[in-house]
Amino acid sequence: MIEPLIKIVGICKKYGAKTVHDGIDLMLNKGEILTLMGGSGCGKSVMLRMIIGLEKPDTGHIYFREHDIPTMDEQSLVGIRKKIAYVFQYGALFDSFTVKENLAYPLREHTKMTDSEIHEKVIATLSKLGLQGSENLLPSDLSGGMQRRVGVARSIIMDPEVILYDEPTTGLDPYNTRQILLIIQQLQKQGVTSVLVTHDMHSIFTVTDRIAFMKSGKILAMGSREEMKASKDPAVRGFILGEAM
């Protein structure tokens, strides 16, 4: 039996009187694309932030290999964040940095690469995402779709094993949505594991291997995209049909 790359066990999280997660168990297998699906406020993005250590659960465990992420301090989490990358909803680029400087930043902070090695890595990464020639532009010079792709480029430049995507296609036109989905699929072919949070049914049913449907603090249903499309569960069917209308 294959050992999961990330194992989430008994996660509970409250904000005041509101229960966001109520004993969630979830496994992420190496090389798969898993989508967290559910209504707004069900805790999808919170789960991403807990996986990378930006938030901590009240109780429970999140194991990445032998590491229990909620128990780790900030210094220890630096090493985890080299292996687990987070793609923020709108790219979260440094406005005053050029594209090249945005991508070079994590390399300067966390590696001993020379300036020439960093330059080569940045140019190669931009080329992978069809962004060659953009290295000297500022984020304000880029379209929304290009900003998202630069955000992905910055996330993959440290060669992570896992990428967490928080609403990566929100507000994008069909062309740029396709570009982002193609990037996710190309990275999977290179062995990268992905967790995707989105309300976009087209994105879910285009790239996902498995879907976890979250509601009322629980994983209400789990299955392949084909299984979820065929689900008889009224909550699942209502959500999918409601979002697709």
| pLDDT (0 to 100) of residue 123 | 95
pLDDT band (50, 70, 90) for residue 1: low
- Does a structural domain hold residue 15? yes
pLDDT confidence of residue 188: 94
Residue 241 has pLDDT above 90, yes or no: no
* Overall pTM > 0.85: yes
Tell me which residue range forms the domain holding 86: 6-244
Q: Quote the number of domains for the chain.
A: 1
> Is 1 among the domain residues?
no
Amino acid at 123: I
| Model confidence pLDDT, tens digit, residues 8-47 | 999 999 999 999 999 999 999 999 999 999 988 889 999 9
The mean-pLDDT minimum among 4-8, 23-27, 93-97 falls in 93-97
DSSP 28: E
Among 15-29, 56-70, 85-99, 200-214, name the one with the lowest average pLDDT.
85-99
Task: Give the C-alpha separation, 5 to 54, whole Å.
Answer: 19
Calculate the dihedral angle through the C-alpha atoms of 144, 145, 149, 150, rounding to the nearest 10 degrees. -30
CATH number of the domain encompassing residue 28: 3.40.50.300
pLDDT for 245 = 34
Name which residue leads in pLDDT, 149 or 161.
161
pLDDT at 36: 95
Mean pLDDT of 157-181: 88
DSSP designation for 117:
H
